[in-house]
Amino acid sequence: MADTVGRRYELRDEIGSGGMGTVWRAFDVVLDREVAVKRINPRAIGSGEAVQELAKRFQREARVTARILHHGVPQVYDAGLDSGVAELYLVMELVHGVPLRAFIDRQVALPVSWAAAFGAQIATVLSHAHAVPVVHRDLKPENVLVTHDGAAKVLDFGIAAVLRPDAARLTATGAPMGTSLYMSPEQIRGRQVTPHSDLYALGCVLYELVSGYPVFGGDTDIDRWNRHLDAAPVPLQEVCEDVPAELDHLVLELLAKAPTERPADAAEVYERLLPLLPTLGSTPEASGAGSSGMPDPTLVFRRPNAPGSRPDSGPVFERASAAESAAAALVVPRTTLRESMEDAVIRANVLLEEERFLQAAEVLDAAIEPAGNVLGAENPQVLQLRLRRAAILVVAGEYRLARPEFDALADAFARTKGPGSGDAVECVRQSAYCRAEMGQVDEALLRFRDVLDRISSERGDGTDTALEVRRNIGELQAARNDMDEAERTLRALHDDLMLVKGSDNEDTRYVAELLERLRPVNPG
């Protein structure tokens, strides 16, 4: 059984570790969603005053990070002390993405527009944080994740300090805080850290994004610290080709030794990067990292607030023939695989009873892939697992995830059991329902009519399923404003319901109400 933190967060996978502790992918069993949980055991770092000091810093982290209200900072959901194990924990939004470090390549130059887009996004986050006021103190490529749509998320404001008189006492450790490749001269000297210290780190990050190399190298931290203190950075135009002068000047100003010689604030950095960004509606650059399949950071500027990408409509697994699947089922004896499939169904049922729908779907998903690889994607037992998972996604309201799987399942059942089989027809019906919920009215109507044709040819239009599909069709016709068609459909349905179920039946009364609403209101 998974470890649980705070009586509601089930830990799944460790996804990171650092000075403050470990970070886990977890499930919030109350709200049925994935979260990130940062946990630390105070006893692991000593006792007495050391524990109290760490507890204060950790609690401050939760309060401070929660006050940075910007989509570029993961949301904080919860924080507390798990008294059972004397462990502090912080619950945050789980971010899926690629580390910014993956975009730094010494062989392939990053397009200038990409570097500028990253810089502008980070500057925006810093402007919101500095207004709190919060200084990050450890900005580096490892602390920035890039989501699939190119949005930058700045992580780990955990060692940030509120700019108040007691901040130094909470963060003082006797050694510089930060990472030597990106530390400002004032941090290295142990002097007052301000928002300008983050701007220096941003200059280091931009320099490395453009050139592929850190602004100051060295074999040891001391070597790097000394260069940050005394060495002049080599201008980017002397290191790389085609670097605009305005970007070179901005980076050199960000890397000024004295904080007062750097740009006034993060907002100024953003404004100076704007001319280097692509214009609204422009096409992406197809050079360097832009052709490597990595998330494009210019997308948020070229197409702000664009719709999300459409889900893949293909099947989850490579298709195997029905004969291959049946043969595989015959030669595979009762094994650990079959037991794991049964166990997945049992565990999913328990989660369903607790209304933890996404976790139930995840449990089945973990069993489906290995089962499909061994038995074939269209093995009857694998198909039933996939069908159950897709149905759970519908209950959870995850129509965009369920729809392509129902499409794939409808094809699979049509091949293995026939297009008129109950499973094939049900998958088409559920696919239509998902489309209706997603607002794809015309596509939903086509599929509901297909379902009705299949049902009617086999069993007639008076079965419960046929009656429900006819109501769905009438409602969608009304949604398209085809009122005459909707009234004809629903009128015929109401007549049949009166015959089959009677006037007092709930379904009959509901269709009567639909018909009433179709009639225009008399202004008199």
DSSP-assigned states of every residue in 220-262: SHHHHHHHHHHPPPPPHHHHSSS--HHHHHHHHHHT-SSGGGS
Contact 103, 110 (CB under 8 A): yes
Residue type, 250: L
Enter the tokens of residue 106.
Answer: 């010494």
Integer Cα distance of 193 and 190 in angstroms: 8
Integer Cα distance of 382 and 371 in angstroms: 6
Integer Cα distance of 224 and 217 in angstroms: 6
Helix (H) or strand (E) holding 385: helix 380-395
Among residues 3, 32, 78, 138, the one annotated as catalytic is 138
Give the three-class secondary structure for 93.
coil
Cβ contacts of residue 260 below 8 Å, gap of 6+?
196
Contact 329, 150 (CB under 8 A): no
* DSSP H stretches of helix in 3-136: 49-66, 112-130
Which residue shows structure tokens 């399923």? 465
Start-to-end Cα distance in the chain: 67
**138 flagged as catalytic:** yes
Integer Cα distance of 281 and 102 in angstroms: 26
Which residue shows structure tokens 């003082």? 172
Ordered strands of the 144-146 beta sheet: 98-99, 144-146, 152-154
Alpha carbon 423 to chain centroid, angstroms:
32
Integer Cα distance of 170 and 163 in angstroms: 11
β-strand partners of 162: 134
Report the C-alpha dihedral over residues 308, 271, 157, 207, rounded to 10 degrees: 100
Contact 373, 341 (CB under 8 A): no
Residue type, 262: R
**Which residues belong to the active site?**
138
